[in-house]
Amino acid sequence: MTKPPLVAVLSGAGVSTDSGIPDYRGPNGLWRRDPEAEKLVTYEYYMADPEIRRRSWQMRRKSRDLQAGPNAAHRAIAELERSGVPVRVITQNVDGLHQLAGTSARKVLELHGNVRNVVCTRCHARGPMEDALARVDAGEEDPPCRRCGGILKSATVMFGERLDPVVLGEAASISKACEVFVAVGTSLQVQPAAGLAGVAADHGARLVIVNAEPTPYDELADEVVREPIGTALPRLLRDLAGTDV
């Protein structure tokens, strides 16, 4: 019996739009179009200005991200893992929907963190976002860390913060080792995440790009799919589960 290929999936904002989550961070996203809104997720402003933090907590209260559920693309990736194909997910998204769809948490690398948790900027204690939002609902406009009194923030990478070098290193290792690399719902324009597609191709992986718009890596790709992600990705992954590379 032929050993199934190691499949790496790099997922971007386009994977979660069918779940009702807009692309906040992209070139045309809210954070880029509205400088005042961008301040709410910029580390320097957030740490220096209590008013920015208060507005950030109100934004989180109104966000639909925590209410969103997985869609067909998330479920297709989880199903690929269940089929016995070794899968690693490298995601630029912060919504946690890959795990909610059933993909093993240990097989998901979150380059930009996870909005479902909060972290203390002083002692680094972590906790559920829902608990922090309940405190805001109860009247705490800028809830401090209950352990040390430090400033709490979403456990996501804000503008002005660097990516976790350990997570990025693991993502690079997976990109070098995989036999198939699927970049889905990402423009492949934001480094260093975008460069992982090139790393995979340079190390001999079959590169497949599923995205509505052209990307800088299309010429390197073995296959480029422009169809809607919700139908194209499940079909592509079913084929991967049943055939050789």
The catalytic residue positions are 112
CA dihedral sign of residues 52, 53, 58, 64: positive
CA 175 to chain CA centroid, Å, is 16
Residue 60 phi/psi, 5° resolution? -65, -35
Of residues 114, 109, 73, the one with CA closest to residue 91: 109
Residue 171 phi/psi, 5° resolution? -65, -40
- Alpha helices, DSSP H only, in the chain? 30-33, 35-39, 43-48, 50-62, 72-82, 97-101, 129-137, 165-177, 195-202, 229-242
Residues 6 or more apart whose Cβ sits within 8 Å of residue 147: 120, 123, 125
HSE-up of 191 (CA within 13 Å, CB side)? 5
